[in-house]
C-alpha cells in the first residue's frame, strides 16, 4: 500500500512537470514570435529615437479617447452626448477653462488608465482585430502609423498573424488606391502605405483592405476598375498633351490624364524624359456636368492647330458661365490617332453609362456675369459687397462706388481712394473700409450708400492695417470691430447716435502675423502660420488653442509651417481649420474630432465659406466642398478667378476680358442679386449726371453734348 501511494504521488508530479514544460514551450513560442516582429522595428528606432516615444504617447492618447467613449456610453446619467464621446457638461467646462486645465484633466485620465482600474476595451476575441491610426507626426513623409493591436487590460500585444504595417504617407506623384482604385487626391497625407509590401490605400479603405501581408495576387484589384453604382474607381489613364498656360499658340504641355470617379484629372509633367507628374492637379473636368461632351476636333471649331495634329486631337467640353458663353472646351492632343479614338470612346461610354444610371449632378453653384464687363470700374476692383438684391458696392483704385444693377445708376461714396476691404456692419448701420495709401480704417453710416452726404469717422491708430472683421457681443447688444496690423489686433466697440464714435476695449498680441480672422460665438478667431486661436471678447482670459499641442496627430502642422486660410464653425463644439496644405476638423478643446482630413486637389490661394459650402480657390479652378459630409461636390473650371467678398459669391475673373462673376446657389429660392442683361458691345459708358458730381449713369450716350468721363 505505501508503494502504491508513492507511485500515485510520483505520477502527479510527472503530470505537473509535463504541464510546466508545455507552459514553458508555449512561452518560448510566443517569445520567438515576438522576436520575429522586433527586428523590423530596430532600424526605425535607430534612425529616429523619438519615434518610439511618439508611438507610446499616441497609444496612450488613443486609450484616453477610447476610455472617454466607454465612460460616456456606460454612464446612465449622461442624457445628452456630444460628438466624439464628449458630454455637453464637459464641453461647457472646456469653454470656460483654458487649455492648461484640460491638460491636467487628461493627465489624471492617463494615471487612471495606467493603474489598470478600467479595461480600455471590452473587445471580444471572436471579432476581427481593429486597425488604429497612431500618429508619429514629426516624421517628414511617413507620419501616422496604423497597426493592429489586441487589448488585454491596458497592455497591447501584437497579433500572431503577419499583418500590414501602415504609415500615413505624403505621396509626391498621383497615386491610386489599391483597394478601390480611386486616386488619393491631396497635397500631403493623401493615404496609407504598408511599409512591408507597399500596399497603398485611402485611410477610409484600411479596414476594407485584405488582412494578409503581402496581399495575395487573387485578392488584388486591377488598376482599372469602376464601381458603377458608387461612381468610384479608375476607368482609364494615359499620357496626352494639353495647351500651355500661355495658350495653344505657345505650344503643348505634356500631361498625365486619369479618368477617375467620373472626373477627368490632368496632371502637368516636365518636358524632360523620365519626369514624373506633379501631385497637384492641373485641371479637373466633372463628367456629371450637364454640358459635358467629348468629340473630335474639326476645322469648323476654329482651333489654331496644325493640320498634322488635327487627326490626333479631341476636345472635352463642360459648362462655365451662363452668360455670355455657357461652355468652354479643353483641346487635348493624343500621341496617335488610335489613342485619340480610345480616349473619345472611353469618355463617351462612361458618360453614356452615367446618364443611364441617372447619376445626379451634385453641383451647387451656377455662374453668372453680375454686370457688364465694359463698366470701367470693374477692371481695377479690389473688393466688393452685396448691399441688397439690387445694389452692390465696389472698391477699387478710384474709391468706393455703389452700383444699382437694375437701373444702371452708380453713386460714388465719399472722397476715399484705394479701397482694399469693405465690411458691412448691418447691426450698427455702419460701413467700414480699409482705404488710402496708409491703409486706415474709416467708418461712415449706411445712409451714405444712398448718396447722402455724411461725416466719415477715421480710426487713427489703425494705420498700416491689412484686414478687419465685425460682429456682435453680449447677445447682440454691442457692435464690435476688430482690426489687424501685422501681429496686433485692436478691438473696438462702435457707437452711433448723431455721430459715429468708438472705444478700444482690448488689444491683443498674436504669436505671428495675422493671416485671417473672424468673430463667431462672441469670440475672435485668429489664424496665423500653423495655428488658430480663439480669444474671448466679453471678458479677460487666456486664449483657447484650436490645435492642441499635446495631440500627436496634429503635431505635423507645427513641424511643417503652413499658412492659415480660414476657420469655420461647424457647430458649437466643432471647427474646420483650413490651411494651405490641408483641412483639419477639431473640437472645442483643440483635439482632432474626425480622423479624416479634407484634401485639396491643387494648392489653394483663398478659402471662402457660405454655409454649408466651402469654396477653395486655386490657380485653375474653384473647388466646392460640403463641410458636413466632407464631399468634393463641384469644380468650377475658371482660371485666374479671385473672391471679392467674405462669402465668395462675388468674384472677379482676370481673363482677357475682366468680368464680375456671381456664384448663384441652385439650392436657394430666389437670387441674392437681380441680374440685368449683359453685353460685350462696349457701347455703354459712364456718364456723369448734370446736377450731381457723385452720380453716374451707365448707358449709351445720347448726343455729343454729354461726353463720357473715364475713371
pLDDT at 185 over 50: yes
29-38, 226-235, 250-259, range with greatest mean pLDDT: 250-259
pLDDT tens figures, 581-625: 999 999 999 999 999 999 999 999 999 999 999 999 999 999 999
- Domains by residue range for the chain, with CATH: 166-220 (3.30.60.20), 234-355 (2.30.29.30)
The answer to whether residue 176 scores a pLDDT higher than 90 is yes
Question: Which range, 43-57, 282-296, 320-334, has the best average confidence (pLDDT)?
Answer: 282-296
pLDDT in tens, 386-423: 999 999 999 999 999 999 998 889 999 998 989 999 99
- At 59 the pLDDT is 53
Q: Is 448:426 a contact under the CB 8 Å cutoff?
A: no
Q: Which pLDDT band holds residue 284 (cuts at 50, 70, 90)?
A: very high
Distance of alpha carbon 50 from alpha carbon 661, whole angstroms: 51
User: For residue 186, is it left (φ>0), alpha (ψ between -120 and 50) or beta?
Assistant: left
Calpha distance 363→70 (Å, rounded): 40
**Whole-number pLDDT of residue 302:** 64
The lowest-confidence range among 72-86, 281-295, 480-494, 687-701 is: 72-86
Could you give the CA distance from residue 360 to residue 354 in angstroms, rounded to a whole number?
A: 9
Q: What is the pLDDT of residue 474?
A: 86
Asked if residue 239 lies in contact with residue 254, where contact means CB atoms within 8 angstroms, the answer is yes
CA-closest candidate to residue 708, choices 681, 371, 698, 682: 698
Please check the confidence at residue 144 and state whether its pLDDT lies above 70.
no
**2-47 and 50-74 are packed helices; what angle lies between their axes, rounded to 10 degrees?**
110
Comparison of pLDDT for 56 and 82, the residue scoring more:
56
CA 535 – CA 540 distance, rounded (Å): 9
Cis peptide before 324 (omega within 30 of 0): yes
pLDDT of residue 682: 64
Distance CA 673, CA 664 (A): 9
- What pLDDT, on a 0 to 100 scale, did the predictor assign at position 307? 77
**Average pLDDT of the segment spanning 159-188:** 86
b/e per residue 368-383 (b: at least 16 CB within 10 A): bbbbbbbbebbeebbb
Summarize the confidence of residues 244-255 as an average pLDDT: 84
Q: Return the higher-pLDDT residue of 337 and 161.
A: 337
Average pLDDT, integer, range 136-145: 37
Confidence class for position 246, pLDDT limits 50, 70, 90: confident
**For residues 432 and 481, is the Cβ–Cβ distance under 8 A?**
yes
Q: Give the three cell numbers for residue 89.
A: 457638461
Model pLDDT, residue 477: 85
Checking if the pLDDT of 692 tops 70, the result is: yes
* pLDDT beyond 90 at 304: no
- The better pLDDT of the pair 655, 503 is held by 503
Q: How far apart are CA 55 and CA 52, in angstroms?
A: 5
Q: What percent of the chain has pLDDT over 70?
A: 72
Report the 3 state secondary structure along 488-513. EEEEEEEEECCCEEEEEEEEEECCCC
| pTM score | 0.77
Q: Which residues contact 86 (CB under 8 A, 6 or more apart)?
A: 68, 72, 573, 587, 589
Q: CA-to-CA distance for 605 and 639, rounded, in angstroms?
A: 12
How distant is the alpha carbon of residue 262 from its chain centre?
21
Does residue 381 have a pLDDT over 50?
yes
What does the alpha-carbon distance between residue 555 and residue 547 come to, in Å, rounded to a whole number?
A: 9
For residue 123, pLDDT over 50 is answered with no
CB neighbour list of residue 505: distance below 8 Å, 6 or more residues apart: 491, 492, 493
Give 8-55 pLDDT, tens digit per residue: 544 544 444 445 545 555 555 455 544 443 344 444 444 444 444 444
Comparing 483 with 78, the larger pLDDT belongs to 483
Greatest CA separation found in the chain?
141
CA 426 to chain centre: 29
Q: Is pLDDT at 242 greater than 80 in this prediction?
A: yes
DSSP 8-state secondary structure symbol assigned to residue 589:
T
pLDDT of residue 674: 82
Lowest mean pLDDT: which of 452-461, 480-489, 620-629? Answer: 452-461
**3-state secondary structure string, 210-236?**
CCECCCCHHHCCCCCEEECCCCEEEEE
Region 136-154 average pLDDT: 34
What percent of the chain has a predicted confidence (pLDDT) above 90?
A: 45
**Mean of pLDDT over the chain:** 78
pLDDT of residue 489: 97
Residue 266 has phi, psi (to 5 degrees) of -120, 125
SS (H, E, C) 76-144: CCCCCEEHHHEEHHHHHHHHHCCHHHHHHHHHHHHHHHHCCCCCCCCCCCCCCCCEEEEECCCCCCEEE
Per-residue confidence (pLDDT) for residue 313, from 0 to 100: 92
> CB-based contacts of 672: which residues, under 8 Å, 6+ apart?
386, 389, 649, 664
Q: Go through 76-95 and write b for each residue having 16 or more CB atoms within 10 A of its CB, e for each that does not.
A: eebeeebebbbbeebbeebb
Q: Cα–Cα distance between 492 and 527 in angstroms, integer?
A: 19
Q: Which residue has the higher pLDDT, 21 or 442?
A: 442
Give the pLDDT score at 339.
Answer: 95
Q: Which residues of 164-186 are buried (b: 16+ CB within 10 A; e: fewer)?
A: bbbbbbbbeebbbbbbbbbbbbb
Model confidence band, residue 305 (pLDDT cutoffs 50, 70, 90): confident
Residue with cell 503577419: 162
Between 88-102, 243-257, 612-626, 696-710, the lowest mean confidence (pLDDT) is in 88-102
CA 148 – CA 156 distance, rounded (Å): 10
Q: What's the confidence (pLDDT) of residue 269?
A: 92
Please state, in angstroms and rounded to a whole number, the distance separating the CA atoms of residues 137 and 568. 24
Separation between Cα atoms, residue 181 and residue 232, nearest integer Å = 8
- pLDDT higher at 255 or 677: 255
- Reading the block at residue 489, the C-alpha cell is 489686433
Task: Give the pLDDT of residue 27.
Answer: 56
Decide: 421 and 443 in contact? Cβ < 8 Å.
no
534-575: pLDDT as tens digits: 999 988 889 999 999 889 999 999 888 999 999 999 999 999
Q: Which residue has the higher pLDDT, 130 or 696?
A: 696
Amino acid at each position: 500500500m505505501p508503494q502504491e501511494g508513492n507511485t500515485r504521488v510520483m505520477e502527479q508530479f510527472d503530470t505537473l512537470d509535463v504541464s510546466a514544460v508545455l507552459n514553458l514551450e508555449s512561452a518560448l513560442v510566443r517569445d520567438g514570435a515576438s522576436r520575429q516582429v522586433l527586428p523590423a522595428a530596430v532600424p526605425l528606432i535607430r534612425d529616429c529615437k523619438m519615434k518610439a516615444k511618439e508611438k507610446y504617447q499616441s497609444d496612450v492618447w488613443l486609450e484616453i479617447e477610447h476610455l472617454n467613449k466607454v465612460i460616456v456610453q456606460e454612464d446612465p446619467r449622461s442624457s445628452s452626448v456630444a460628438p466624439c464621446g464628449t458630454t455637453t457638461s464637459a464641453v461647457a467646462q472646456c469653454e470656460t477653462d483654458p487649455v492648461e486645465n484640460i491638460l491636467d484633466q487628461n493627465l489624471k485620465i492617463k494615471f487612471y488608465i495606467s493603474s489598470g482600474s478600467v479595461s480600455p476595451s471590452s473587445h471580444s476575441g471572436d471579432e476581427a482585430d481593429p486597425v488604429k491610426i497612431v500618429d508619429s507626426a514629426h516624421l517628414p513623409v511617413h507620419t501616422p502609423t496604423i497597426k493592429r493591436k489586441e487589448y488585454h487590460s491596458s497592455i497591447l500585444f501584437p497579433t500572431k498573424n503577419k499583418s500590414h504595417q501602415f504609415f500615413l504617407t505624403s505621396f509626391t506623384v498621383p497615386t491610386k488606391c489599391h483597394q478601390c482604385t480611386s486616386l488619393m487626391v491631396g497635397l500631403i497625407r493623401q493615404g496609407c502605405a504598408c511599409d512591408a509590401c507597399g500596399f497603398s490605400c485611402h485611410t477610409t479603405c484600411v479596414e476594407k483592405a485584405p488582412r494578409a501581408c503581402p496581399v495575395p495576387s487573387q485578392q488584388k484589384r486591377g488598376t482599372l476598375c469602376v464601381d458603377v453604382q458608387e461612381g468610384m474607381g479608375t476607368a482609364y489613364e494615359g499620357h496626352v498633351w494639353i495647351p500651355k498656360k500661355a495658350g495653344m499658340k505657345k505650344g503643348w504641355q505634356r500631361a498625365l490624364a486619369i479618368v477617375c470617379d467620373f472626373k477627368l484629372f490632368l496632371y502637368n509633367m516636365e518636358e524632360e524624359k523620365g519626369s514624373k507628374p506633379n501631385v497637384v492637379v492641373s485641371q479637373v473636368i466633372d463628367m456629371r456636368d450637364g454640358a459635358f461632351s467629348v468629340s473630335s476636333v474639326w476645322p469648323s471649331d476654329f482651333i489654331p492647330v496644325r493640320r498634322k495634329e488635327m487627326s490626333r486631337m479631341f476636345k472635352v467640353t463642360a459648362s462655365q458661365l451662363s452668360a455670355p458663353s455657357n461652355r468652354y472646351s479643353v483641346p487635348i492632343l493624343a500621341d496617335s490617332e488610335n489613342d485619340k479614338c480610345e480616349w473619345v470612346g472611353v469618355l463617351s461610354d462612361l458618360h453614356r453609362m452615367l446618364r443611364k444610371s441617372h447619376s445626379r449632378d451634385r453641383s451647387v453653384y451656377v455662374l453668372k456675369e453680375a454686370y457688364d464687363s465694359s463698366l470701367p470700374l470693374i477692371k481695377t476692383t479690389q473688393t466688393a459687397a452685396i448691399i441688397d438684391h439690387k445694389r452692390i458696392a465696389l472698391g477699387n483704385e478710384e474709391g468706393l462706388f455703389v452700383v444699382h444693377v437694375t437701373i444702371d445708376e452708380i453713386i460714388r461714396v465719399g472722397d476715399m481712394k484705394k479701397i482694399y476691404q469693405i465690411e458691412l456692419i448691418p447691426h450698427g448701420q455702419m460701413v467700414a473700409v480699409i482705404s488710402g495709401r496708409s491703409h486706415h480704417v474709416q467708418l461712415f453710416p449706411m445712409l451714405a450708400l444712398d448718396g447722402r452726404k455724411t461725416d466719415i469717422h477715421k480710426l487713427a491708430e489703425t494705420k498700416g492695417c491689412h484686414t478687419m472683421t465685425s460682429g456682435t457681443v453680449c447677445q447682440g447688444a454691442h457692435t464690435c470691430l476688430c482690426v489687424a496690423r501685422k501681429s496686433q489686433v485692436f478691438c473696438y466697440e462702435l457707437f452711433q447716435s448723431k455721430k459715429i464714435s468708438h472705444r478700444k476695449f482690448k488689444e491683443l498680441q498674436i504669436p505671428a502675423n495675422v493671416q485671417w480672422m473672424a468673430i463667431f460665438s462672441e469670440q475672435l478667431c485668429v489664424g496665423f502660420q500653423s495655428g488658430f486661436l480663439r480669444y474671448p471678447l466679453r471678458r479677460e482670459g487666456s486664449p483657447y488653442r484650436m490645435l492642441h499641442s499635446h495631440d500627436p496627430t496634429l503635431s505635423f502642422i507645427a513641424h511643417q509651417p503652413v499658412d492659415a486660410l480660414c476657420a469655420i464653425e461647424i457647430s458649437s463644439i466643432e471647427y474646420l481649420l483650413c490651411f494651405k496644405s490641408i483641412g483639419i476638423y477639431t473640437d472645442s478643446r483643440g483635439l482632432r474630432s474626425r480622423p479624416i482630413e479634407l484634401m485639396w486637389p491643387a494648392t489653394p490661394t483663398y478659402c471662402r465659406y457660405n454655409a454649408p459650402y466651402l469654396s477653395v480657390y486655386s490657380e485653375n479652378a474653384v473647388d466646392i466642398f460640403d463641410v458636413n459630409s466632407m464631399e468634393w461636390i463641384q469644380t468650377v473650371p475658371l482660371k485666374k478667378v479671385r473672391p471679392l467678398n467674405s462669402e465668395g459669391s462675388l468674384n472677379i475673373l482676370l481673363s482677357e476680358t475682366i468680368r464680375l462673376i456671381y456664384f448663384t446657389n441652385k439650392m436657394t429660392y430666389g437670387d441674392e442679386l437681380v441680374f440685368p442683361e449683359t453685353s460685350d458691345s462696349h457701347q455703354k459708358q459712364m456718364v456723369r449726371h448734370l446736377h450731381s458730381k457723385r452720380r453716374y449713369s451707365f448707358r449709351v450716350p445720347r448726343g455729343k453734348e454729354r461726353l463720357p468721363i473715364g475713371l
